[in-house]
Structure formats: structure tokens, C-alpha cells
Structure 1
Amino acid sequence: MREAKTSPVQLTAAATGALPRALLLAICIIYGLTGLFHRDPWKNEDAAGFGVMWQLATGGVHDWLMPNIAGRPFTDDGPLVFWIGATMIRLFGNWLGAPDASRLATALCFFGTCAFIWYTTYLLGRRDEVQPFAYAFGGQPSARDYGRTLADGALLVFLACVGLAVRGHETTAQVGQVALIAMILYGLVRSLDKPVHGSLVFGLGLGALTLASGPILPLALLVAAAICAAVCAPMPGRRLAAIGVPLALLIVAAWLAAAYFSTADRQEAVTFIREWARYDRRSYGAPNMQTFGFNMRNLFLYAWPVWPIAAWAWVAWAGMRRAPHVALPLALLLPTLVLLFLQTNASDAQFILLLPPMAILGAFALPTLARGVINAIDWFALLFFTIFGSTVWFLWVAKTTGWPPRIAGNVFRQLPGYQHHFRLSSVIFALLVTVAWVLVVRWRLSRAPKQIWRPVVISAAGTTLMWVMAMTLWLPSINYGKTYRDVVEAAAMALPPAYQCVQPIRMGNAQLASFAYFGHFRFGGPEDDCDILLRHDGADYGDPSKISHFEWRLIWEGRRPADRDERFRMYRLVDTSRATHARPELPRHRLPQ
């Protein structure tokens, strides 16, 4: 029975017209696929994630069960997303190239996230307690139409998020984690009407999230779901615990057992698993001002316009905060938000995890927004993205034509050594997107549609415009500024024809992955007798110390043109007593810093 007395929504059927399916799918596909192809892995997390995937794709069972980058164990996240990326490289790498093929995993995760957000909101939107006020003579929308319109709104809210553009197109574990959080939320909602089905999805998502991240995030979500089941009466808490939790534990145990029993060196497996479990504990700690200040400066812009709409949903549905459409998204949003403020090292990599529950919660705010608020959101988006698009075109014209010369000089000063090439296909695609933006704005302002998703149409179209234009007109420039390809190829040319291995010093995961992939460097571990030393120097540390009759001679140094804060130096071990460049008999236990 509908709870008309507590519902703050009063709508007619005309306000619940759904977007055409073809249009909604086209927006998702264009936005999701743009920026995934014809570029290199970018520093930092993008290159590191690709490095793990490429190592798995070219390695054996040991690499798949205990992911690594050129032999360095990678325990920052679990292996699930890297398994998917490595599979894509094996299937499509010869056709697309390894970097582009790896990002098919990113596309799958993005589209999965969109699907879970839409269906979760649709199921919640059909529930009796959220239906609009029932008029005496009819005219209110049907539950099915209302649910579809809310689902369309949730998806548009998600796509409208400014911060989704870059983070949603990288080869990182976070793109899989955000899809699995959306999957867990779908399982919780599905359990309201189909307890067994929903519990299975919930358990599968919880176990998969553990394999894609670490133990703390899924454990926090599990505790939050248990608390939510205690305050939200419709949730089948016992069924979720009896089915979902054992399934999740079984999934995690299967990976741990496979990693332990697949190698003869059981201690190596134990060390890897222990470091994977400990990474989370080292990543979180007591609140600190650095993390708090970073989040306060960046989170509100990153999650615009999702966060104010989601916040308004909490206010608008004040009388129904224990209902599933408010309680369930909050159950996953709040622990994720708390973990953000407990990070020991501030980063925006985890911001994307907030978006699915925020978008679903925000969808239920759309029918309650006042006309003045809707107009404010529209005009802000219209002004911001019009200025952004005009600036992108203006700077591109200056870069291409050299006029105005001062602006063109400033552009090329940021990219020393860059050679600009005119690409007709990119210009045509950018023009089409710009025309589409103008048509969307004209339609929105002239027709004044009554559908409840109208407040976020311009915002969603604007973020699509922003990303597509950046990834067409400016992709070569951005790629030049964020790739390690050129510096790695220069270093590879300086390598001796014959060498045993390269010892990396102060090399991050992204740098190690880039040198291994682009330069095919053979890296060695600390216990290996490497005759080449590759250092990453953020400052001048001086030359490595000499060892008896051996010395390290500098054979190459360089840096990325767009980065002045890092420099790479490569040294070769030379036997000074023999005065020869042939590889000497190497002394053991020497690791210069």
C-alpha cells in the first residue's frame, strides 16, 4: 500500500517520460569508450595498473595468483581487475596492442557500473513507499514509468560527475571496485523482493570486491549492511548473512588457497598474502589534517553535481530515512566516505567509489527539487561547460595556427619538444560533439521539459562534451605530457648490447612498468648481481659509491620533457683494474643507494 502521507513527491504522468533507450545507450557508449584507445599508459596509477596486467598476460600461473610488476610484488590491491585486463590483452592484444586491449577491462567495468546503477534505481523506484502522491482523480505516473524515469536520472547524475572523466578511464583496480560496489548495492536491493537471488549477488559482489581491493573496504561495507538490516525492516538480514557471507568467504579462500598451494615456496605465498592484507592497515590510520584538507579542497569539485543532489535527498525524505531507497545507498556511502578521511596519504583515487551510492540516492532528490534550484544547476552547467568548450577550441586553434603567438607560445612552453600534427578525424569528431552540445542546450532551454531528469541533462551533456573534446583535440598533447615512452626508448638505446640485469633504485610502480614494457628492460631483484643500475632521482644524490676495484659509470641520464621534478640516471659497473668494458665477475651483496 502506498505511503502517500509521507512521500514528498507530487508528480503527474507527464513528468515521468523516459529518455529514448538509443539516446541513453549512445551517451554511455560514447562517454565510456572515448579516451580508452590510441594512447599510452599514463603516470602514475594508470601505468602501474597496466604494468600488472601486462605482466600477467605474458607470465605464468605464479604471476596470475601473486601479481607483480617485473618481479616486484604488487600488493596494493587484489588481482581480480588485473585478471580481467590480462585476459583482454591475451584475447585482443595482437589486434589492438596491449595498452588498448587492457582498457577493455576498464570499459567492461564502466558499463557494468552503469547497468547496476540503472537497475538498482529502477527496482527502488517501483517500490510502494516512494510512489508520488495519488490524486483523487488519477493522473499520477505508474510505478513502472516512475521507476524508469528515476533510473534514467540516476544514470545521468552519475555521468554528470566531473571527476569521473579521468579516473573512470584508467587501468586501475578502482574502476573494478566501483562496479562491484554498485553490484553489492544491487544485490541488497534485489534481496528486498527476491531474498535468495539478492543474497547470492550480494555475496558474489562482496567476495569479488575483496579480490579487487583489500579486506578493509568489504569488511566495512559488510558491517554497514548489517547495521542497515537492523534499522531497515524490509531487508532480509538473516538470509543475506546465511547466503552472502559464506559465498564471499568461499571466493576469497579459493584465491588464497590457490596462491598458497600453487608454488613450491610456501613462504613466498605467505609473505605475499600477508603484505596484501597489511597494505590496507598501513593505508588507513587516525584522522590527520593533511588528508582532511586535501579531501575538503578536492572532493566537492570532484563529485559535483552529485553531492549536493544526494545531500538534498536526505533532507527531502526526512520522514522516510529508514526506507530502502535512502537507507541502502547511505549504508554503502557512509563507510566509504569515512575511509577516505582515514587515509594516511591523501589521494583522489578512492573518490570514485562514492559515486554509485551518491547517484542512486541523488535520483530520489530529483522529483523534489524546486524550480529555482533546477534553474541554478542548469545555468551553472551551461556557463561552466560553454566557457570550458570555448577555451579548449581557442587554445587548440592557437596551438595549430600559432595565433595569437603569445598564447601558442605558452601552450608549447608546457610541452617542450612536442610536435603538433593536424588530425582531421579528431577535428570532425570534436565539431560533431560541439554541435550536439549546442542542440542539447537549445532543446533544454526552448522546450523546458517537465521530466524529473531535466536538472542533470545539461550537466551530463557537458561532462561528455568536456571529455570527448579533451580526448580528440588534445589527446596527442596530453599523451605526450603523461607517457614515459620517449624517455624509456632513449634509455633503451643506451643499454649495452649484452648485460645481465638492471637493478632499479627508487623506481615507482608506474616507472618500473613503463621501462619494462616500452624498453624491455630485464630487471633483477636485490639478491641478483646486476651490472646495470637505473636510478630515479628526485634530487641530486651524487654518483653511486665505488666497490673495491669496481665503479659505477654514468652511461645515460634523461627525464620526461613535461616533468622537471624527476630524472633518471643509468650506470654500468666497470672493472677499473682491468680497464675493460667487458662484464666483470661481480661481487655479491652490493646494493648502492
Structure 2
Amino acid sequence: MSAAKTSRVHLTAAATGTLPRALLLAICIIYGLAGLFGRDPWKNEDAAGFGVMWQLATGGTQDWLMPNIVGRPYGEDGPLVFWVGALMIRLFGGWLGAPDASRIATALFYFGTCSLIWYATYLLGRRAEVQPFAYVFGGQPNARDYGRTLADGALLIFLACVGLAMRGHETTPQVGQVCFVAMSLYGMVRSLDKPIQGGIWLGVGLGALTLSSGPVIPLVLLASVIICGLACKPLPLPRVLLASVPLALALVAAWMAAAYFGATDHNDAVTFIREWSRYDRRTYGAPNAAALNFIARNLLLFTWPVWPIACWAWLSWSGMRRAPHVALPLAMLLPPLLLLFLLRAPGDVQFILLLPPMAVLAAFGLPTLTRAAINAIDWFALLFFTIFGGFVWFMWIARTTGQPPRVAANIYRLLPGFQQDFTVSAIVYALLVTAAWILIVRWRLSRAPKQIWRPVVISAAGTTLMWVLAMTLWLPSINYGKTYRDVAQAASMALPTAYNCVQPIRMGDAQLASFAYFGHIRFGGPDDGCDVLLRHDPVDYGEPTSISHFEWRLIWEGRRPSDRDERFRMYRLVDMSRVAPPRPSLPGRRLPSHP
């Protein structure tokens, strides 16, 4: 018996029943929209991304061609995601407010990613080489039903990922990048039966990924596509490359040409594009202990539960690893995974890029999971999310009622100065999602469905419960702890009535964007002759150096109540030649002392 035949799964038609459409759509919509609206931009990447979008929405052509935050160039990522966010601010900012309007772009990328994952898995699941074993007397599922069931499983696995909750709801370039990775994967899958159409999707995906990140990730993915095409014979590599590569290059070249010819100073455009292209080279380097330690501690949790199922799929399809359903997801998965180990500074920002191809690969591990593995995944998710949901409710009750006193005191200590914000609608939503969780668990345990997506429906519903509870019961507290609104407005009130501009010192992109938006502070650069300094002092750097006849005087000092490592100081430049000297006291006369 050949390896291909031994790796086929044995399923009946009953095992490929699709998940109820209403339940699948409800999980997608509730999970995707919860936490997007009614909050401020949060430190750090969320606020920085919003700052660029807001600058584009309120700025001119130069800002759109060369994104920046109040004049500071932002060349870490390409402009595409910022363009979409700025467009949403212009369209809906007057109705929703700029922060909420910018996150409409996040929702669009999220739903686009979900759709691309579903359709890529569906097309792969219909292929002949992955179909279940055909019984002599029939009873096996047809290709269409089998593909839909696998697609439902892939989408549930994607939604069940723990790390998607926070990173998937931010205004960062990564929410667009993950969508374009999924688009590139879909293009490869589509090219198996429609090479030109698939090549166009792949070209748009790689070009858009370049315009939303940098050149390194798309180039490495392109190299991986070529290697995959050589190993996976069904992939029509020449026609795919002919349709995709010129299109991707044209998209990137169009932005570069527009930036160069549309810039007031051509040298500024050349400098911006050069720094953007070089940023990746400063981001990646030889593996270091700090980055590897961070990845080892966080990657498995971030990608749970998709990584064990994906690993199982790799093992269970050992005889068909060059087949499209294994080779194509791996082509999109291995390059970003490799780049993670080359990061100079540790961080989880790029973890999200692994989720679409990993979810597609993991879907093909669902039909081969053993009953013991299915039960282990189910009961782990059931116990974990039930305990987590109960803990969230318990802590919220303690914070709201003050009982038990010791627990409430610990919560207040973490949020000094926070004023309780009780909203009935948030409680109603939290109760509804908790009731829905109970009903889903009861349905899953009482019906004991045989469908192959059953191991992940509890996990997907559990992550939805976790995120919605956090974004309803605890949203005011989280927003208070992660926003710069109050400190930025306090700094604005301390500004002189008349000033030229404020020069930021050691302020990060998130801080600069938040102070500019919330405080309406007019920032300037070193050459603008600013007469006010705003410094971020994580440690005591001392007073700024004074110059002849001028002195920097401290006029304000503050920090966010929930962060003891940040401290902001504002100084005003005072002309000492115009300040009257203090009157000398009379000889032999002592000033009265205060008690």
C-alpha cells in the first residue's frame, strides 16, 4: 500500500456536518467587534499606529506619501495600513471620533483574514488527494462537504488562538500584514486550478505586505514560494510567478514614484524610502539569548491551541508532505517563524503573522486526531475558560462592591486614582456572553457531536468569552491603565498661554502621538526654535543645560498613575535679562519666619 493511501483518513458523512452558520458568524462578529470601540488608543503600538493614521487624516499630501507623527518620520512599516485607517477617520471620524473610526480598518482586516483563511482551506479540502477513504458501500462525505467542514475548523482554530485577542484588535500595521499573509496563501491555493487568478491574488498579497511592512518578509516569502513550487508539483510555478512578481513590484514602485515626484524636496523622499528599506536590516540579526528566551516563554502560549494541532497534522500526513494542503501552508509559515529567531529585540508583535498558515495546516490535523487528544483539548478548554470567566466575574464584583476587602484593596492599589465607572449595558453584554458560553458547553457535552471541528468549538467560544468579559466588565479599568489621555491633558493645561512650539525629548512614538492628540500640543523639531521642552525621564537626567542669558525652568511634572517607570517634565525657556532681580533685604533686618 502506498504512503499516500495509508495517510488518508477514514470518515463518514456524519463527521463532516458543517457548523451552524449562525453560531460561526456570531463567534466571528462578536469576537471581532468587541473591544474595538469606546476606548482610547493604548500604549504602545496601538497608540503609535493611531498617531500615524490621525496625522495622515488631518495632514496633507506629504503626510500620505511619507507617514509621520507630528513631523517625526515613521519608517518602521510601510504606509498601506495607515492609508486605510486615515481614510476611515476622514469618512467616519466626525461620527465616531478619530480613535474609534481608525479601528474600523482593524475590523476590515480582521474579517478579510477570516474570509481568506476559510476559502483557502475550503479549496484545499476539496482536492482529491485529501479526501477520506472511499468505502465499498459508500457513506463517505463528498468533497464539497468535507472542504466546508475543514474550513469551519480552520476558522475556529484561528479564532481560538489566545494571542489574537489583543493583537488582533489594535491599530497597528500587523493587523494588515496578517491579512496579506492570508491573501498570499489564498493566492497560492487558488493558483492550483486557476494559475493566473491565483497569481494575481499572490501578487497583490506580496505587494500589499511590502507596503504594510518592509521588504524582508515579502522577499523571504517569495523565496519560499519558489522553493514550494519546486517541491510541490501541482503548483504551476512559472505562470504564478509571471502573474504575481510584476504586479507586486508595480504596487511598490507606484508608491515610491509617487513619494519621489510628489515630495516638495526629492531628497526627503529618497531619505525616507532608504530608511524604510533599511529598517528591517536593523531589526534582524544573529540570534541572541534574550530574543530566544522570550520566544521560548511566549510563543507557545500565544499560538495555543493551534500549534499542537498543526504539529499533529505534520506528523499525521507524513506520506504526503509535498502535497498542497501541507506544502502551501508551510511555505507561508516557515519564513516568518524563522525571522522570529533573528529578531534583535524580543517582542510578540510579529507572532500574529504565524496564525493564518498555521490554522490552515492545523485544519487537516483535525480528521486524524485521536479520541484521547480530542477529549484532552475539550476538557482543558472547558476547565480553563470556565475558571477564567469565574475569576473575571469574582474580581469585578470585588472591585465594584469592595468585598472581600483584601482583594478589593489589591485591585485599587494597581489602579490608583481610578473612579468606578458602572454601566448597565456592559453588565448586560457580559451576562449574555456568559449565558451563551454555558449554552455552548451544554450543547457540546450533551449532544457529543461527531463532526471533526468539535475539538476547537469550545476553545473558540472560550476565547470569545475571555475577550468579551475583559472588554465589558474591565474596559474602563484597562483603558485607565493603558491610556495617556489624563497626563497629556494635564501637560496641555500647564503650557504657557503663548509659546512657539514644544520640543519632545526621549518621547516614544506612542507618547508623542497621544500628547499631540489628547493635549493638542504643537510639537516642533530641534531647528524650529521651540521655547518649551517636554521630556520623558524614566530616570533622573537632571535639569536641562541653560544657555547665556536664558534658563530652562520646570513648569510641570506628571506621569500616568498606573505607571511608575514613566515621568514627564515640561520646561519653559526664560530670558533672564528680562527678569527683575530680587530686591536685597535691608542690613540688620531679618525676615519673619513661618511657624
Q: Same fold (TM over 0.5)?
A: yes
Rounded to whole Å, the distance in 2 between the matches of 1:180 and 1:401 is 46
Q: Structure 2 matches for 1:129-140, cutoff 5 A?
A: 129-140=129-140
User: SS in structure 2 opposite 1:8?
Assistant: coil
Cα separation, 2, equivalents of 1:48 and 1:56: 13
Identify the residue that residue 443 of structure 2 maps to in structure 1. Answer: 443
Name the amino acid aligned to 2:217: L
Distance 1:111 1:264 in 2: 38
Residue identity matched to 1:370: T
Q: CA deviation at 1:36?
A: 0.3
Residue 83 of structure 2 is aligned to residue 79 of structure 1: no
Does the Cα contact within 8 Å between 1:75 and 1:272 map onto a contact in 2?
A: yes
Which residue number in structure 1 is paired with residue 589 of structure 2? none
Q: Distance in 1 between matches of 2:285 and 2:57?
A: 35
CA shift at 1:21, angstroms?
Answer: 1.7
Q: Which residue of 1 aligns with 2:201?
A: 201
Given that residues 7 and 132 in structure 1 are in contact (C-alpha distance below 8 angstroms), is that contact kept between their aligned partners in structure 2? no
Partner of 1:490: 490
Q: Counterpart of 2:587?
A: none
Instruction: State the Cα distance separating 1:186 from its structure 2 match.
Output: 0.1
- 1:145-544 to 2 correspondences below 5 Å: 145-544=145-544
Q: Deviations over 1:267-315 (max 9, x none)?
A: 1000000000010000000111110000000000010001000000000
- Kept in 2, the 8 Å contact 1:4–1:134? The answer is no
| Deviation, structure 1 residue 241 | 1.3
Cα distance in 2 between the residues matched to 1:554 and 1:182: 51
* In 1: Cα distance, 2:443 partner to 2:25 partner: 19
Letter matched to residue 444 of structure 1: R
Tell whether 2:89 aligns with 1:106: no
C-alpha distance in structure 2 between counterparts of 1:580 and 1:172, whole Å: 51
Question: Quick one: distance in 2 between partners of 1:32 and 1:271?
Answer: 38
1:23, distance to aligned residue in structure 2 (A): 1.8
Letter in 2 for 1:431: L
**Deviation of the 1:578 alpha carbon:** 1.1
CA contact (8 A) 2:4 2:319 kept: no
Q: Answer yes or no: is the 8 Å Cα contact 1:574–1:580 preserved in 2.
A: no
Task: Give the structure 2 partner of residue 590 of structure 1.
Answer: none
- The aligned counterpart of 1:58 is 58
2:73 is aligned with 1:91: no
Q: In the aligned structure 2, how far is the partner of 1:76 from the partner of 1:415?
A: 33
Distance 2:375 2:280 in 1: 43
Per-residue Cα deviation, 1:57-82 (whole angstroms, up to 9, x for no partner):
00011000100000000001000000
1:6, CA displacement in angstroms? 3.8
Q: Identity of counterpart residues, as a percentage? A: 75
Quick one: distance in 1 between partners of 2:184 and 2:508? Answer: 33
SS at match of 1:553: strand
Task: Give the letter aligned to residue 354 of structure 1.
Answer: L
Cα distance between partner residues in 1 of 2:498 and 2:393: 49
Aligned residues of 1:93 and 1:101 also touching (Cα < 8 A): yes
Contact 1:3 1:130 in 2 (8 A): no
Q: Is the 8 A contact 1:558 1:568 kept in 2?
A: yes
How much does 1:263 deviate? 1.5
User: Which residue does the alignment assign to 1:587?
Assistant: none
Task: State the shift of 1:53 in Å.
Answer: 0.1
Letter in 1 for 2:541: Y
Distance of 1:432 and 1:170 partners within structure 2? 25
The amino acid that maps onto 1:162 is V
Shift of the 21–575 alpha-carbon distance from structure 1 to 2, 3 Å rule, reads same
Does the CA-based 8 Å contact 2:556-2:570 persist in structure 1? yes
Q: Following TM superposition, by how much is the alpha carbon of 1:8 offset from its aligned partner in structure 2, in angstroms?
A: 3.0
1:5 corresponds in structure 2 to 5
Paired with 1:34 and 1:226, the residues of 2 have a C-alpha distance of 39
Relative to structure 1, the CA distance from residue 202 to residue 191 in structure 2 (aligned partners, 3 Å threshold; closer, same or farther) is: same
Deviation for aligned residue 1:128: 0.1
Shift of 1:22: 2.2
Structure 1: give runs of 5+ residues left out of the alignment. Answer: 582-593
Q: CA deviation at 1:421?
A: 2.2
What is residue 553 of structure 2 aligned with on the other side? 553
TM-score, normalisation: structure 2: 0.97
Length-normalised TM-score, structure 1:
0.97
1:187 counterpart letter in structure 2: G
Contact 1:4–1:132, Cα closer than 8 Å, also in 2: no
How far apart are the structure 1 equivalents of 2:580 and 2:504? 24
Q: Is the 8 A contact 2:8 2:131 kept in 1?
A: no
**1:3-29 CA distances to partner (integer Å, 9 max, x unpaired)?**
971433100000000012222111111
Ranges of 4+ aligned residues in structure 1 off by more than 6 Å: none
